[in-house]
Amino acid sequence: MKALRKLLDNIKPHVQPGGKFEKFHSTFDAFETFLFVPNTVTHKGSHIRDSIDLKRTMSVVVIALIPALLFGMYNVGYWHFASLGQEVSFMQTFTFGLLKVLPLVIVSYVSGLGVEFIFAQVRGHEVNEGFLVTGMLIPLVMPVDVPLWMVAVATIFAVTIGKEAFGGTGMNVFNPALLARAFVFFAYPAKITGDYIWTAGLSGGTGIIDGFSGATPLGLASAGQMDKIPAINELLLGFIPGSIGETSKIAILIGAAILLLTGVGSWRIMLSGLLGGLSMTLIFNAAGANAYMELSPMTQILMGSFLFGIVFMATDPVTAAQTSRGKWIYGFLVGMFAIMIRVFNPAYPEGTMLAILLMNAFAPLIDHYVIEANISKRLKRALKASNS
Amino acid sequence: MSKVYKIKKGLDIKLAGEAERTLTEFSATHVALKPTDFIGVFPKLLVQEGDVVKAGDPVFCDKAHPEVLFTSPVHGKVAEIVRGPKRILLEIKIELLTPETYTDFGKANPSNLTREEIISKMLQSGVWPMIRQRPYSVIANPADKPKAIFISGFDTAPLAPDYDFIVHGQGDVFQTGIDALKKLTNDKIYLNLPDGMVNSKVLTNTRGVEINHFSGPHPAGNVGTQIALLCPINKGDVIWYLRPQEVIIIGKLFAEGRYNARRIIAVCGSEVRKPKYYKVPGGVGIKKLLAGNVNESDVRFISGNVLTGTRLEPDGYLGFYDSQITVIPEGDYHEFLGWSMPRLHKHSFSRSYFSWLTPDKHYVADTNLNGGVRALVMTGQFEQVFPFDIYPTQLLKSIIYNDIDEMEKLGIYEVDEEDFALCEYIDTSKTEIQSIVRQGLNSLRAEMS
């Protein structure tokens, strides 16, 4: 480690402002602080500081996403070979998925971090760790057959317009990963909808066995084929077609456990989101106007990206409501709208993405009213004191 | 009347190097008065180098309030007047002379004095600055009539001194001090004690005060926390506050007729070899006090506690309001992939480390920032260590964009930087929160005057 430290210390003068390679200052800084916690000491205020930093916080989220990523890889291979009607070993299945998914992950990280590094350099900031999570979320919410260039374009769009234009990490209004997903959906509707994009190789259309559909449970539901929706345990285990990271609810729940145990993810949002989804389903059940409305709450919750969205996307601290009471309201409405959009919107089978983006937009308003209540409470107290 | 208030939000940071409950009398050779200890005071020097002052003789006064005198805590010779950039007055160093001589202010029973006589005595002798006020946490204005006076009888900060130990045997002067303070307010004096204080009867037997009990983690012992629960500050309210040692010094002024600025302090921290209590004159020089008792490594000397204290040079002086000297290691080192390591030896409020599994372990904390400065990303963390009905993040942001109206609405009158110290400690983004709060209070005070 000493040799590495020495190497960095040797390079450092050249990348400082005024040095030969000052354009790489932020980039160097990002790598240096990744390798070594800086030797900065406290100057003002509290002399000691908590061991937590944004790198650790974000890496906890990345770790929480890994079960979903690994299962996603296996599931990609599983459906690919299922569509071809081939029986292959576990390793072959996983390797196929790995080779399909890894390029998506790399493209997302490289394009997104590239933008981040440039902006950090121009602004003279340190590179923010927020994209470590976004970069992992983007491939996980994509269908496997999405072209790589599309992922790159969507990522660059999301980071530039969705985040940096607002002032960078901590200032953005919309969840960048969802923005990337929405960009792909709205910019290339023909390539990202339908039943064939969820299985690797299916869009090529060669060698597919007869009768293989590749439709997601949500696709089936919106087509009215309720009898074909997989059973609860299949939805739970995740051997179903869908976006890469969303299918295994077990993997998502492991991630949720990590987030909740470490306190990194907001339990208020997760719980209220779940309650919101359940209440909406129960309302639909009571109304019972069509077959979709009559789906059981369990099926609704386990279908599609509802859980993935509630656990990993709605809990993004920057774009969610910031006050505790606001988080309850925000989460509950995310859950309600996700189910409502799913059931009512004929154009797009999944409602979670739109529900979260919609509530991202309303989160500051929710907080505003929560804080106004606190302010008026304080004013009332002052009035009471001055009257007595 | 007594009631137990349970503080739920907060954090006890357990550090190594707690002071052992033994008391050593320390014979100092140097003390200093530091005008920088007093927020908002513009000092006007009243002595020159070489002047001899008795304990209680004025050294400087506040230009805005010339009646507020700052007097020498000892009998001695003005050895050096230290100025900083822009000729800011930093320290007035006084070398002790023997025998101890005090200026006589006359013994008196405060019960027989009027409010004006008490105030005048306190101003003259230099004990007045011991009374501070909320909002702004500045020296109280003698012309004000406070809504109440608050005395927190315990300190919950890391390695804080035990007031129960400090006040032991000084019940009479404490009561005299309370009697004097009683004349300063029409309303109550609140004396706040920890739930279950049993050892010393000094504080529990105090007469003429309303005693309330508090339990729970830091900041239960902060006066700000206690005011918020018992007597919340509205715009226009003024509350005065002080600590038990200061009440004792005020009591001695009336009982002995002199400014006896001796106080008991805890010398503590992981880098102190034998952490214990010392009886020292106010503003004592730490160089001789700590000689031979501190590990010879790169350390930081702090007057006060690790959360809110002031950094001292190795030859610095105890702060006016402090009852604690803390010595901790500096954190000037690189840690390879430190952010990804288990770091079992480090304390964190976050459960992504493991210190929450060992709540009784005492940690050696250093001054490393443990990360880089970032935008405020995480939410809902401050609220867990901030026992006020205030939205901390929103208040901080209103200070950053300097919106006075918004600050008032969000409750800035109820807080000072000390109340935000834990937020700063646990902050993932490493923002200098206490400075921001002070900046807000200063701009509000400028706006109001």
Token pair belonging to B34: 């530091």
Option in B13, B158, B367 nearest A41 (CB) = B367
> Looking at beta carbons, which residues of chain B come within 8 Å of A51?
343, 346-348, 350, 353, 370
What mean pLDDT comes out for the span B34-40? 95
Å from A130 to nearest chain B CA?
9
Nearest to B316 by CA among B299, B297, B295: B299
Measured over the CA atoms of residue A53, residue B159, residue B231 and residue B9, the dihedral's sign is: positive
Contact B409, B351 (CB under 8 A): no
Q: pLDDT band at B199, cuts 50/70/90?
A: low
More confident residue, A213 or B67: B67
Report the distance separating Cα A206 and Cα A227, nearest Å: 28
pLDDT reported for residue A206 = 67
What mean pLDDT comes out for the span A273-294? 91
What mean pLDDT comes out for the span A255-281? 95
* Residue B200 reports pLDDT greater than 90: no
* Interchain CB distance below 8 Å, A36 and B351: no
Residues 6+ apart with CB under 8 A from A320: A266, A269, A314, A327, A330, A331, A359, A360, A363, B379
Residue B354 in domain: no
More confident residue, B416 or A35: B416
What mean pLDDT comes out for the span A157-186? 90
Distances from the Cα of A178 to the Cα of A366, B82, B378, angstroms: 20, 59, 19
Token pair belonging to A292: 């979709």
What mean pLDDT comes out for the span A357-379? 95
Å from A117 to nearest chain B CA?
15
Cis peptide before B392 (omega within 30 of 0): no
Q: Which of residues 61-100 of A touch B (CB under 8 A)?
A: none
What mean pLDDT comes out for the span B343-363? 89
Report the distance separating Cα B420 and Cα B222, nearest Å: 11
Name the β-bridge partners of B31: B94, B284
Q: Which one of B209, B239, B256 terminates a domain?
A: B256
What mean pLDDT comes out for the span A70-97? 90
> A151 and chain B: CB distance < 8 Å anywhere?
no
Report the distance separating Cα B215 and Cα B23, nearest Å: 27
Residue B27 in domain: yes
Dmax over CA atoms of chain B, in Å, equals 68
pLDDT reported for residue A217 = 83
pLDDT reported for residue A8 = 81
The answer to whether residues B318 and B401 belong to one domain is: no
Classify residue B449 by burial, with Cβ atoms within 10 Å: 0-12, 13-18, 19+: exposed
The answer to whether residues B89 and B186 belong to one domain is: yes
| Radius of gyration for the alpha carbons in chain B, expressed in angstroms and rounded | 21
* Interchain CB distance below 8 Å, A385 and B393: no
CB-based burial, A97-135: b 16+ in 10 Å, e otherwise: bbebbeebbebbbebbbebbbbbbbeeebbbbbbbbbbb
Contact B5, B232 (CB under 8 A): no
The proportion of chain A whose per-residue pLDDT surpasses 90, expressed as a percent, equals 51
Distances from the Cα of B326 to the Cα of B265, B303, B310, B330, angstroms: 10, 6, 10, 12
Cis peptide before B219 (omega within 30 of 0): yes
Å from A169 to nearest chain B CA?
7
Q: Which of residues 252-281 of A touch B (CB under 8 A)?
A: 261-264, 266, 268
Classify residue B51 by burial, with Cβ atoms within 10 Å: 0-12, 13-18, 19+: middle
pLDDT reported for residue B396 = 96
Q: Residue A110: what are its φ and ψ, rounded to 5°?
A: -65, -45
Residue B134 in domain: yes
* Residue B31 reports pLDDT greater than 90: yes
The proportion of chain B whose per-residue pLDDT surpasses 70, expressed as a percent, equals 99
CATH of the domain at B336: 3.10.20.600
pLDDT reported for residue B229 = 95
Nearest to B177 by CA among B165, B187, B167: B167
The answer to whether residues B309 and B181 belong to one domain is: no
| DSSP code at position B270 | T
Q: pLDDT band at B198, cuts 50/70/90?
A: low
Q: Which one of B256, B283, B306 terminates a domain?
A: B256
Å from B407 to nearest chain A CA?
10
Q: Considering the entire predicted model, what is its pTM?
A: 0.92
pLDDT reported for residue A205 = 64
* Interchain CB distance below 8 Å, A169 and B427: no
The answer to whether residues B208 and B337 belong to one domain is: no
ipTM comes to 0.92
The answer to whether residues B62 and B141 belong to one domain is: yes
Residue B277 in domain: yes
What mean pLDDT comes out for the span A325-352? 90
Q: In terms of CA atoms, which chain B residue is nearest residue A263?
A: B351
* Interchain CB distance below 8 Å, A48 and B427: no
> Looking at beta carbons, which residues of chain B come within 8 Å of A35?
336-337
Residue of B231, B235, B337, B370 best to disrupt the A interface, most CBs of A under 10 A? B370
Residue of A52, A164, A175, A319 best to disrupt the B interface, most CBs of B under 10 A? A52
pLDDT reported for residue A85 = 83
Residue B218 in domain: yes
The proportion of chain B whose per-residue pLDDT surpasses 90, expressed as a percent, equals 85
Report the distance separating Cα B286 and Cα B281, nearest Å: 11
Q: Which of A20-34, A316-330, B396-410 has the lowest mean pLDDT?
A: A20-34
Option in A55, A374, A379 nearest B371 (CB) = A55
Contact B436, B382 (CB under 8 A): no
Nearest to B327 by CA among B288, B367, B355: B367
What mean pLDDT comes out for the span A301-315? 93
Q: In terms of CA atoms, which chain A residue is nearest residue B438?
A: A45
The answer to whether residues B23 and B125 belong to one domain is: yes
What mean pLDDT comes out for the span A195-215? 72
* Residue B242 reports pLDDT greater than 70: yes
Nearest to B353 by CA among B341, B361, B364: B341
Q: Which one of B308, B341, B374 terminates a domain?
A: B341
What mean pLDDT comes out for the span B251-268? 96
Count Cα atoms within 13 angstroms, Cβ side, for A162.
25
Nearest to B339 by CA among B330, B329, B350: B350
Report the distance separating Cα B313 and Cα A46, nearest Å: 17
Dmax over CA atoms of chain A, in Å, equals 85
Residue B359 in domain: no
One-letter identity of residue B150: F
Residue of B339, B341, B424 best to disrupt the A interface, most CBs of A under 10 A? B339
Q: State the residue for tokens 């230290």.
A: B82
* Interchain CB distance below 8 Å, B380 and A327: yes
Report the number of distinct structural domains present in chain B.
3
* Interchain CB distance below 8 Å, A49 and B368: yes
pLDDT tens-digit map of A106-162: 999 999 999 988 888 888 777 888 889 999 999 999 988 888 999 999 999 999 998
Option in A44, A318, A367 nearest B377 (CB) = A318
Q: pLDDT band at B14, cuts 50/70/90?
A: very high
Report the distance separating Cα A83 and Cα A106, nearest Å: 26
Q: If you average pLDDT over every residue of chain A, what do you get?
A: 88
Q: If you average pLDDT over every residue of chain B, what do you get?
A: 93
* Residue B180 reports pLDDT greater than 60: yes
pLDDT reported for residue A350 = 80
pLDDT reported for residue A11 = 81
Option in A4, A49, A170 nearest B425 (CB) = A49
The answer to whether residues B393 and B441 belong to one domain is: yes
The answer to whether residues B418 and B269 belong to one domain is: no
Pairing state between β B4-6 and B210-215: parallel
Report the distance separating Cα A272 and Cα A277, nearest Å: 9
More confident residue, A20 or A60: A60
Residue B206 in domain: yes
* Interchain CB distance below 8 Å, B347 and A51: yes
Q: State the residue for tokens 């196929």.
A: A96
The answer to whether residues B179 and B312 belong to one domain is: no
Q: State the residue for tokens 């154009």.
A: A347
Q: B48 lies in which domain range?
A: 4-256
What mean pLDDT comes out for the span B86-90? 94
The answer to whether residues B334 and B286 belong to one domain is: yes
Option in B300, B334, B425 nearest A38 (CB) = B334
Å from A118 to nearest chain B CA?
17
The end-to-end CA distance of chain A, in Å, is: 68
Helix/strand/coil for A232: helix
Report the distance separating Cα A54 and Cα A385, nearest Å: 43
* Residue B1 reports pLDDT greater than 70: no
* Interchain CB distance below 8 Å, B429 and A385: no
Q: Where are the beta strands (DSSP E) in B35-153?
A: 43-45, 52-53, 58-62, 69-71, 76-83, 89-96, 132-134, 138-139, 148-152
The CB density around residue B83, as the number of other CB atoms within 10 Å, is: 11
Nearest to B432 by CA among B446, B444, B420, B416: B420
Q: pLDDT band at A329, cuts 50/70/90?
A: very high
> Looking at beta carbons, which residues of chain B come within 8 Å of A360?
none
* Residue A228 reports pLDDT greater than 90: no
CB-based burial, B94-130: b 16+ in 10 Å, e otherwise: bbbeeeebbbebeebebeebeeeebbbbbbbbbbbbb
pLDDT reported for residue B40 = 92
Report the distance separating Cα A21 and Cα A149, nearest Å: 30
Residue B198 in domain: yes
Give the count of Cβ contacts less than 8 A between chain A and B: 213
* Interchain CB distance below 8 Å, B340 and A168: no
Contact B318, B304 (CB under 8 A): no
The answer to whether residues B200 and B327 belong to one domain is: no
The answer to whether residues B184 and B270 belong to one domain is: no
